[in-house]
Chain A
Amino acid sequence: MTDKPVSRRNLLLYAAGGLGAFVLGGSRWLSSTQWFAQVLDSEEVLTRHAQRWLGALQPNAPEYTKADIDPVFRTNGTTHPDTPAYHKMASHGFRDWRLVVNGLVERPLKLSLRQIRQLPAQTQITRHDCVEGWSCIGQWTGARLSTVLEAARPKANARYVMFFCADRPGLGGQAYYESLAMREAYHPQTILAYKLNGHTLPVPNGAPLRLRVPRQLGYKMAKYLMRIEVVESFSKIAGGHGGYWEDRGYSWYAGI
């Protein structure tokens, strides 16, 4: 009369087989169910709160030296917005381009590139981290977003700053857009950049104006800016997730 080592061995084999089957097939199925995707999404909430708590003192992203600047600043996503309107603006050196600032503000603005260049300038050598995994160091010059927001005076119920762009990455599809919480928008390193490595911002890097948020991943740093809108909620804007890539499954919080 033996014990049941065989059945128990089988049990262990079933368990191992189950895990194997799960990692090969089940994970794909689970990922496409709405409920499990929501369970996984709780990761974003936890990460966001943990990092906000750790960064309560609003520390700065590390800044680098001129020797650290990479010879080529890699471009990703759209490298040339393919719309007649953008082509026309670009051909005139963006003289007709205006940055619209509206939404929940006391004083909506319409700023030319010259007006933005006249605002107090800030230059910072920071690292750009793409969600794909690579990093690139460049020197950025621009005006603090907080300067522009203070001029527009956000209303009391303002919670997010939306950025609407000239490019449509998905061939005739949705225009690129992004959003930041007020806390990140007012951070001193969050700038509207018009220069890269001392030169006028090249078209592949987002001319005439792009956002730099060095404590977040690259997809937050909207290029080809056209309009800034201050809102209370972005749930009714485009896909409702606060950004072009966010509408395609990426986390709204991109500090990691």
Chain B
Amino acid sequence: MAHPKALSQSGQAASDRVYRHNLAVRLMHWVNFVCLVILLMSGLQIFNAHPALYWGKSSHFTQSGFFGTPILSMYAKTNPSGHVIGVTRIGSHTFNTTGWFGLSDNAHGVPQYRAFPHWATLPGPQWLAMGRHWHFFFAWILVANAFAYFLYSLFSGHLKRDLLPTTGELRRLGHSLVQHLFLRFPKGNEALQYNVLQKLAYLFVIFGLGPLIVLTGLTLSPYMDSVFPPLLRIFGGRQSARTLHFICAFSFVGFFIVHMLMVALSGMVDNLRSITTGYRRIAITENKQSK
């Protein structure tokens, strides 16, 4: 480890060991990751307490229907043949989601009426009060971490140096897109910077999705609505904000999946090593050696 050039001297797989992510970025990255996992799972726990989403100011309860007039709901029902099935209803379409949503086995294999299954929620069993404690505790950590990250990015130059795309990069956006579609990823020194698609994705998540999920979350607090009523106008009411909060959460899941895919395709071990220890290996470009 002390001789970064050792391998290249051997003349075989010429690679270099370079410092990729500094301690601050690595620390904030992993704090963020832990927070998001816990927030997602405790969020699903909270959702399970009333597994329906609405649009507007309220849930529009009427004489009929347990959930009022939702745009999405999950529940269990008995089908014509007498079996209990898990159902997900979106608009006026219902889907049989037995085993996943509406009806699933608990940790002991016993079927339960639950929106999201036990393995997706935190804690596993239905426990709203505890789910809320987890959610708000880690929401505070997430916000503190994000605040530290904003300050750091701004003042260390991380934002300008690493995240903001240059006009040249933006011009070659189409080219980069094609390269990605063919799964050709930057090698050598180029791999030491975020590419333009990566930059745009990170900027979207950090400055778009991040603030949005925090603000829609705050709109769910009746006290915050009294402190800052524009929140309700911006998101179209508390129940709309709840739906948007849910959509944001799954956008994070979507980002996570693509992020993992890119990490895996562009060198899983190197990427994970560099975000954990700071260092990664790159092929030495002078040799024009590509794997």
Q: Which A residues are closer than 8 A to B by beta carbons?
A: 3, 5, 8-9, 12, 19, 23-25, 27-28, 31, 37, 39-44, 46-47, 51, 54-55, 59-62, 64, 68, 70-74, 127, 129-137, 214-217, 245, 248-251, 255-256
Q: With A51-B223, A133-B46, A216-B222 as given contacts, are A250 and B59 in contact (CB-CB < 8 Å)?
A: no
Q: Is the CB of A70 within 8 A of B226?
A: no
Q: How far is the CA of A215 from the CA of B221 in the complex (A)?
A: 8
A229 to chain B, nearest CB (A): 24
Give per-residue flags for B93-122: 1 if the beta carbon is below 8 A from chain A beta carbons, else 0. Answer: 000000000000000000000000001001
B68 to chain A, nearest CB (A): 7
Q: How far is the CA of A58 from the CA of B171 in the complex (A)?
A: 51
| Count of residues in B whose CB is under 8 Å from the partner chain | 54
Q: Is the CB of B137 within 8 A of A40?
A: yes
Q: With A62-B229, A71-B63 as given contacts, are A215 and B222 in contact (CB-CB < 8 Å)?
A: yes
Partner of B63, one of A72, A131, A249: A72
A231 to chain B, nearest CB (A): 23
What are the residues of chain A within 8 A of B188 when measuring CB–CB?
A: none
Binds A, one of B83-91, B207-215, B247-255, B268-276: B268-276
Q: Is the CB of A5 within 8 A of B57?
A: no
Q: Is the CB of A12 within 8 A of B137?
A: no
The DSSP consensus for interface residues of chain B is helix
What are the residues of chain A within 8 A of B7 when measuring CB–CB?
A: 3
Q: Is the CB of B223 within 8 A of A215?
A: yes
Q: Is the CB of B136 within 8 A of A5?
A: no
What are the residues of chain B within 8 A of A245 when measuring CB–CB?
A: 129
Q: How far is the CA of A214 from the CA of B127 in the complex (A)?
A: 25
Among A3, A27, A47, A68, max chain B CB count under 10 A is at: A27
What are the residues of chain A within 8 A of B50 when measuring CB–CB?
A: 130, 132-134
What are the residues of chain A within 8 A of B223 when measuring CB–CB?
A: 51, 55, 215-216, 255-256
Partner of B38, one of A23, A41, A130, A214: A23
Q: Is the CB of B222 within 8 A of A255?
A: yes
B184 to chain A, nearest CB (A): 24
What are the residues of chain B within 8 A of A59 when measuring CB–CB?
A: 226-227, 229
Give per-residue flags for B1-21: 1 if the beta carbon is below 8 A from chain A beta carbons, else 0. Answer: 100000100000000000000
- 19 A-B pairs within 8 Å (CB atoms) are namely A3-B7, A5-B269, A8-B273, A12-B272, A19-B37, A27-B41, A40-B137, A42-B137, A44-B133, A47-B140, A70-B60, A135-B59, A135-B238, A215-B226, A251-B132, A256-B220, A256-B222, A256-B223, A256-B224
Q: Which B residues are closer than 8 A to A by beta carbons?
A: 1, 7, 34, 37-38, 41, 46-47, 49-50, 52, 54, 57-63, 68, 119, 122-125, 127-130, 132-134, 136-137, 140, 220-229, 232, 238-239, 242, 269, 272-273, 276-277
What are the residues of chain A within 8 A of B220 when measuring CB–CB?
A: 129, 256
Q: How far is the CA of A44 from the CA of B223 in the complex (A)?
A: 14
Q: How far is the CA of A64 from the CA of B7 in the complex (A)?
A: 70
A9-B272, A54-B228, A133-B50 given; 7 more Cβ-contact pairs under 8 Å: A3-B7, A27-B41, A27-B122, A59-B229, A62-B232, A134-B239, A135-B239
Q: With A131-B49, A134-B50, A134-B68 as given contacts, are A47 and B63 in contact (CB-CB < 8 Å)?
A: no
What are the residues of chain A within 8 A of B226 when measuring CB–CB?
A: 55, 59-62, 214-215
Q: How far is the CA of A8 from the CA of B268 in the complex (A)?
A: 12
B219 to chain A, nearest CB (A): 11
